[in-house]
Amino acid sequence: MHETYDFEKPRLKKDLEPEELLGVILEYAAKIANERSLDNVLMLMADMGKQIVISDRCTVWLLDDQRGELWSKVAHGVKELRIPLGAGLAGHSVSTGEPIFIDDAYTNVEFREVLTSGALRTDKQTGYRTKALMVIPFRNNEGDVIGCYQAVNKMTDSEVFSDRDLRNLSLAASYSGKSIESAMLSQEIEETQREIIFTMGEIGESRSKETGNHVKRVAEYSYILALGLGIPQTEAEILKMASPMHDIGKVAIPDSVLKKPGKLTEEEFDVMKTHTEIGYNLLKNSKRRILKTAAVVAEQHHEKWNGRGYPRGLKGEEIHIHGRITAIADVFDALASDRVYKKAWELDRILNLFKEERGQHFDPQVVDAFFEHLPAILKVRDEYADHLLE
């Protein structure tokens, strides 16, 4: 991942002059202040830190109080890193609120144990040579430590971090503290919203044998299909949040019908069909985009391209594209899963049905997108497989 730190190489780099330092801080402070994604804030802060102290590597760790861990994000597409608070130098610094300087990890005595189980062990695996280390805790407006910077290997002649590095990086960190807190709050709100949405969707499902992955799979299938049809990213994300709620109206369907092990009678199926209008009525008054989209999807996910669906018998493009997409996502998942009333179908049988229903039940273009993106869809199916609770 990183090239080896070469101690023979002359150190060409110099510490920043005050005006250069100010330039770096201003540049990053502006970017960070405009960033709402916490992952991006962390990565920008790490870049800024690396430039300010001229280190080979720089990581920003954030405290997760509830789990007693520090976590970090080092790159897009890479899963977050997590370490227990009690395990490393970073945790030590966050717990004590004190910075740590180490000039050479291989001769340091004070942190011998932590280094042996941390940096030195990693070096052995990677061939990297950790020498200088600096860890600086940073605080929020209330003065609580919320995380730390960890810089590794000073790239100037001195090869060690200085008090000046400490001051400069602390100064820079103080500018980002507020952005971190507001990004953390946005993330918290978004995660809470997502949980509420999935929980609402799961209420609608109420299937005795399912763990609730149905709604997550339908969300992901809808997202893949939307992007495949050229729908803009933001709208696809809104549909992904909204589609799990398509069956929310089933809250009002009696268990005797919803959980009936066998085939429904005509009267029972008429009761079942009302879940579309009930869902629509539950959601229609919201002004929020996600819930407005969810209302349309709840009402229209059983409409058919040929006009023979319910509740309104809409036809072709009279059915909103969000409804046409969710229809395929929902049926694919219903057929690929065990239900109280039926066993899961083999994939080939499902694909044959989709070919037959292209232009009948389903919008032909959405069916085409389905086949084009089948590998991604099957990946989701396998990743969110149900763990049956017998």
Using only C-alpha atoms, what is the Rg of the chain?
27
Does the footprint of ligand C2E cover residue 263 (CB under 6 A)?
A: yes
CA distance 246 to 216: 12
Minimum CB separation from ligand C2E for residue 267, in Å?
A: 13
Q: How far apart are the first and last CA of the chain?
A: 45
For 22, other C-beta atoms within 10 Å of its C-beta total 12
Contact mark string toward ligand C2E, 264..303, x via CB under 6 A: x-------x-----------------------------x-
138, containing H or E segment: strand 133-139
Q: Judge whether 179 and 41 are in contact, CB under 8 Å.
A: yes
Contacted by 151, from ligand C2E, ligand SIN, Fe ion, none: CB < 5 to 8 Å by type = none
Of 160, 271, 335, 376, the one binding ligand C2E by CB under 6 A: 335
Write down the catalytic residue from 250, 287, 292, 355.
250
Decide if 284 is catalytic: no
Residue with tokens 């005797």: 256
Show contacts with ligand SIN in window 322-361 (CB under 6 A).
341-342
CA distance 259 to 137: 55
Q: What are phi and psi of 69, to 5 degrees?
A: -135, 160
Contact footprint for Fe ion (CB under 5 A): 247, 330
Contacted by 339, from ligand C2E, Fe ion, ligand SIN, none: CB < 5 to 8 Å by type = ligand C2E
Structure tokens at 48: 């800024």
Contacted by 45, from ligand SIN, ligand C2E, Fe ion, none: CB < 5 to 8 Å by type = none
User: Which one, 252 or 264, has the nearer CB to ligand C2E?
Assistant: 264
| Residues present in the chain in total | 390
Closest CA to 101 of 150, 51, 62, 50: 150
Does the footprint of ligand C2E cover residue 320 (CB under 6 A)?
A: no
CA distance 293 to 311: 17
Stretch binding ligand SIN (CB under 6 A), from 10-18, 22-30, 87-95, 153-161? 87-95
Structure tokens at 37: 């994604």
Does the footprint of ligand C2E cover residue 331 (CB under 6 A)?
A: yes
Work out the angle at residue 305's Cα, subtended by the Cα atoms of residues 365 and 271, and round it to the nearest 5 degrees: 135
Does the footprint of ligand C2E cover residue 145 (CB under 6 A)?
A: no
Q: What is the DSSP letter of 346?
A: P
Show contacts with ligand SIN in window 198-217 (CB under 6 A).
216
Contacted by 240, from Fe ion, ligand SIN, ligand C2E, none: CB < 5 to 8 Å by type = ligand SIN
Please give the positions annotated as active site. Answer: 250
Positions in the binding site for ligand SIN (CB under 6 A): 88-90, 114, 118-119, 122, 194, 216, 219, 240-241, 341-342
Positions in the binding site for ligand C2E (CB under 6 A): 260, 263-264, 272, 302, 330-331, 334-335, 339-342
